[in-house]
């Protein structure tokens, strides 16, 4: 925004600092003084005014007020006391009607008669030119001058060219046309606010005047418009017709409705002096909802807490008064401050404190280290162990999923949940989210159903809440693998539990009750209970065929489902330290043909019984039943790892242990070690 140094000087009796020095001072209070240059015996200050200060500082008067407050100078407001002609009444020349009070909160009109249109005085022309405006005539130049001085845009009409002596503020009709002062034609629509006479639009409200009632050499009666418009309406209209002007820029940022009267009186005063006009008495003023000054309560103690420095009360009051605020009352350490309506940016005590600190000087506020106790947050063990479990599964190659906490009627019937007291949502988003979930399994399997075609190798898990009753919820942890990977998933569960400090893990046969045999989630022969210290905490197994076919999943799926609340009671950060043996290990493989009903755990126990303490680990790496074997038999193949703590085992010693294992296995009826 461009400002004239000489113009700013005119508001003060005392000499202002030099332009460069003044620019340096103002930069501390505005975004930046972008440029200082000499032009036509004056200096131009290009000040980057922040948008929140547009209402009062897009004007020479506003910047002069700031200079007065910053430098502590006495500030003088330009004279606008009017000598009105008692024989003339403004209301006899024009009437005003506002169709939409929200679009135009205030419209003020004043009439000047017997004016003499001609060139403006040289001093006025120079100030306009310095600020980037082209002088036209003394009437138009005055309203432009007052806009630059007060920040309030104005417009003038030839009163004799207004049809019906009316001004109507309304939205344009569809396809209504207007030609502006520049000769540009616009086709309007109902989103554009216009100023109209009894027949046609005579101006685009807040943006540009129309050609029809423009001021000419023959004009004798001038109607001055000084109005306040809704910023959104002007911004929308400006964008719609792709026209931005000095007036529209000011209106778009918001202006004080009370400034209209000050600006119109100032322009009438200048027209009387410059154009020898007669000022008609009174205003035509439509102002339905008057705006009054706000009162903001200021806590003097809060100033120190917010700024970090104690400013004497006397200095605080002095700064507020210099800025134009009025101290209405004082009670203890509280002041009630009246805010001028031009300060649209001030509505909170923090706004006042910002201004106090700004004028007092931010440089006076020293850098002080904050004084506070740095207390580490209390450890949340629930979150800690959740993260530990998630990290263990992610390290095993699983991806975490987040599903909705609901499922639908289809899942309720398929999983036979209808008998378990489902909690129905009162206003479900869809039929597929009708019930609160009582298990994580349905939604995990739906993830498989939707993604299996694109991603055949699916390894996912979820840790979330399930709802057993309206007042009961608990956390569950479930994960799955696609494929015939029961023992692989068992290894993942072992690794997960070990990472949580749990070692007493046991897998027991899962036997479905009589009522759930047909509709059980789990495969009847390929499922197990997961136990810790004899307490069941979850299940591990292959999903039953009838569930997979109901969800049209063509592949096998193995899944674990663990009660995380029970698991949380057994976790521990303590780890048993076992040193790594410095002696090499040896591996032998063994394959055992056993009856189909024999569990792998039973075979493992017999291997460890025969091998004794020299067996370090036993891994199942293959299980086969089918072609080439009797119908009631299955083949289990194991890696046996031998290792001693104090010596290297010889081949002969390992062979002896291997033979002992074979004898132990073959003592069981129907067990045969394959050679």
Better pLDDT: 514 or 299: 299
Q: Average pLDDT, stretch 68-86? A: 91
pLDDT given for residue 511 in this prediction: 58
Residue 381 in this model has a pLDDT that exceeds 60: yes
Q: Is 632 annotated as a binding residue?
A: no
Please answer whether residues 384 and 564 qualify as being in contact, where contact means their C-beta atoms are separated by less than 8 angstroms: no
Q: Distance between CA atoms of 200 and 91, rounded to whole angstroms?
A: 21
- Mean pLDDT, range 173-188, rounded to an integer: 95
pLDDT tens profile 246-291: 999 999 999 999 999 999 999 999 999 999 999 999 999 999 999 9
Summarize pLDDT for 482-504 with one digit per residue, the tens.
988 888 898 899 999 988 888 77
Residue 429 — pLDDT band, cuts 50, 70, 90?
confident
Residue with more model confidence, 524 or 587? 587
CA distance 167 to 299: 48
Q: Torsions phi, psi of 201, nearest 5? A: -65, 140
The average pLDDT across 628-648 equals 89
What is the structure's pLDDT at 13?
92
Contact 35, 20 (CB under 8 A): no
pLDDT reported for residue 39: 84
Check if the beta carbon of residue 356 is closer than 8 Å to that of residue 319: yes
Q: Answer yes or no: is 589 a known binding residue.
A: no
Domains and CATH numbers, the chain: 2-71 (3.30.56.10), 84-286 (3.50.40.10), 299-362 (3.30.56.10), 381-570 (3.30.930.10), 586-674 (3.30.70.380)
Tokens 């503020």 belong to which residue? Answer: 169
Q: Which two tokens stand for residue 448?
A: 């498989």
What integer is the mean pLDDT of 556-580? 85
Give the tens place of pLDDT for each residue, 437-476: 999 999 999 999 999 988 888 999 999 999 987 778 999 9
Decide if 183 contacts 153 (C-beta within 8 A).
no
Give the pLDDT confidence score for residue 444 in this predicted structure: 95
Which pLDDT value is given to residue 505? Answer: 83
Calpha distance 558→577 (Å, rounded):
32
Predicted confidence (pLDDT) at residue 370 exceeds the cutoff of 80: no
Please state, in angstroms and rounded to a whole number, the distance separating the CA atoms of residues 221 and 114.
6
Using the predicted structure, report yes or no on whether residue 317 has a pLDDT greater than 90. Answer: yes
Region 310-339 average pLDDT? 95
List the structure tokens of 408: 């639908």
pLDDT at 158 over 80: yes
pLDDT of 514 strictly over 60: no
pLDDT band of 577, cuts 50, 70, 90: low
Q: What is the pLDDT of residue 534?
A: 82
Please compute, for residue 188, the number of CA atoms within 13 A of its CA located in the half-sphere on the CB side.
Answer: 28
457 is in an annotated binding site: no
- Per-residue confidence band for 517, with pLDDT thresholds at 50, 70 and 90: very low
| pLDDT over 90 (residue 563) | yes
Cβ neighbours of residue 566 closer than 8 Å, sequence gap 6 or more: 532, 535, 537, 538
Confidence at residue 382, expressed as pLDDT on a 0 to 100 scale = 84
Q: Give the per-residue pLDDT at 419.
A: 64
Lowest mean pLDDT of 76-80, 294-298, 508-512, name the range.
508-512
39 known member of a binding site: no
Name the average pLDDT for the chain.
91
Q: What is the dihedral of CA 532, 536, 539, 545, to 10 degrees?
A: 150
Query: Rounded distance, CA 39 to CA 297, Å?
Result: 46
270: tokens are 């200048």
**Residue 59 burial (10 A CB sphere; 0-12, 13-18, 19+):** buried
Gap between the terminal Cα atoms of the chain: 97
Q: Is the pLDDT of residue 73 over 80?
A: yes
147 vs 149: CA distance, rounded Å: 5
589-603, pLDDT tens digit by residue?
999 999 988 888 788
**Percent residues over pLDDT 90 in the chain:** 69
Six-digit token string for 157? 């009409």
Is 344 within 8 Å of 292 (Cβ atoms)? Answer: no
228-258 burial, b at 16+ Cβ within 10 Å, e below that, comes to bbbbebbbebbeebebebbbbbbbbbbbbbb
Q: Which pLDDT belongs to residue 146?
A: 97
Characterize 188-215 residue by residue with b for buried, 16 or more Cβ atoms within 10 angstroms of its Cβ, and e for exposed: beeebbbbbbeeebbbbbbbbbbebbbb
Estimate the crossing angle of helix 313-322 against helix 60-71, to 10 degrees. 160
SS3 of 279-302: the string is EEECCEEECCCCCCCEEEEEEHHH
Please determine, for residue 380, whether its predicted confidence score (pLDDT) is greater than 90: no
- What is the per-residue pLDDT for 166? 95
CA 35/CA 309 separation, integer angstroms: 33
**The pTM of the whole model exceeds 0.85:** no
Residue length, the chain? Answer: 675
């Amino acid at each position: 925004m461009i400002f004239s140094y000489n113009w700013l000087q005119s508001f003060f009796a005392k000499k202002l600092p030099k332009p460069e020095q003044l620019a340096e001072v103002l930069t501390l209070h505005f975004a930046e003084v972008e440029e200082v240059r000499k032009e036509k015996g004056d200096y131009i200050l290009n000040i980057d005014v922040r948008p929140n200060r547009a209402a009062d500082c897009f004007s020479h008067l506003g910047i002069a007020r700031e200079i007065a407050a910053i430098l502590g100078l006495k500030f003088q407001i330009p004279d606008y006391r009017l000598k009105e002609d008692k024989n003339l009444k403004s209301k006899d020349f024009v009437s005003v009607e506002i169709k939409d009070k929200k679009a135009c909160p205030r419209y003020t009109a004043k009439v000047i008669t017997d004016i003499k249109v001609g060139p403006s005085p040289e001093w006025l022309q120079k100030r306009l030119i310095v600020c980037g405006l082209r002088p036209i005539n003394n009437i138009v130049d005055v309203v432009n001058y007052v806009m630059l001085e007060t920040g309030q845009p104005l417009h003038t009409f030839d009163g004799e060219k207004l049809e019906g002596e009316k001004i109507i503020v309304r939205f344009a009709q569809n396809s209504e046309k207007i030609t502006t002062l520049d000769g540009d034609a616009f086709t309007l629509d109902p989103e554009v606010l216009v100023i109209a006479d009894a027949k046609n639009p005579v101006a685009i409200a807040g943006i540009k005047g129309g050609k029809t009632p423009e001021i000419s050499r023959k004009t004798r009666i001038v109607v001055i418009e000084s109005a306040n418009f809704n910023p959104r309406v002007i911004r929308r209209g400006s964008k719609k017709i792709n026209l931005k002007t000095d007036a529209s820029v000011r209106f778009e940022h918001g202006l004080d409705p009370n400034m209209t009267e000050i600006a119109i009186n100032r322009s009438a005063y200048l027209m009387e002096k410059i154009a020898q006009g007669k000022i008609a008495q009174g205003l035509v003023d439509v102002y339905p909802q008057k705006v009054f000054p706000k009162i903001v309560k200021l806590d003097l103690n809060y100033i120190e807490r917010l700024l970090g420095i104690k400013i004497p009360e006397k200095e605080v009051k002095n700064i507020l008064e210099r800025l134009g605020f009025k101290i209405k009352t004082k009670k203890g350490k509280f002041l009630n401050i009246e805010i001028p309506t031009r300060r649209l940016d001030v509505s909170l005590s923090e706004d006042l404190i910002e201004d106090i600190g700004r004028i007092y000087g931010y440089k006076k506020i020293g850098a002080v280290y904050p004084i506070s106790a740095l207390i580490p947050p209390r450890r949340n063990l629930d979150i800690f162990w959740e993260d530990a479990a998630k990290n263990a599964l992610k390290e095993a190659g699983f991806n975490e999923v987040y599903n909705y906490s609901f499922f639908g009627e289809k899942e309720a019937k398929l999983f036979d949940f209808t008998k378990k007291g489902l909690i129905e949502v009162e206003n479900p988003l869809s039929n597929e989210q009708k019930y609160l979930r009582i298990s994580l399994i349905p939604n995990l399997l739906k993830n498989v159903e939707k993604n299996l075609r694109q991603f055949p190798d699916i390894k996912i898990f979820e840790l979330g809440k399930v709802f057993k009753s309206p007042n009961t919820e608990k956390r569950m942890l479930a994960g799955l693998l696609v494929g015939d990977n029961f023992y692989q998933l068992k290894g993942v569960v072992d690794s997960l539990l070990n990472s949580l400090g749990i070692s007493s893990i046991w897998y027991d046969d899962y036997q479905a009750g009589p009522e759930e045999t047909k509709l059980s989630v789990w495969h009847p022969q390929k499922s197990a209970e997961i136990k810790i210290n004899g307490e069941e905490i979850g299940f591990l197994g292959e999903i039953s065929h009838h569930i997979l076919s109901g969800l049209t999943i063509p592949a096998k799926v193995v899944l674990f489902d663990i009660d995380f609340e029970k698991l949380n009671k057994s976790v521990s950060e303590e780890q048993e330290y076992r040193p790594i043996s410095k002696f090499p290990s040896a591996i032998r493989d063994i394959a055992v043909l056993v009856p189909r009903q024999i569990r792998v755990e039973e075979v493992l126990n017999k291997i460890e019984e025969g091998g004794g303490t020299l067996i370090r680990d036993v891994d199942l790496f293959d299980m086969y039943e089918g072609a080439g074997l009797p119908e009631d038999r299955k083949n289990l193949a194991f890696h046996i790892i031998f290792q001693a703590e104090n010596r290297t085992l010889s081949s002969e010693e390992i062979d002896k242990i291997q033979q002992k294992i074979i004898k132990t296995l073959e003592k069981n009826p129907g067990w045969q070690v394959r050679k």
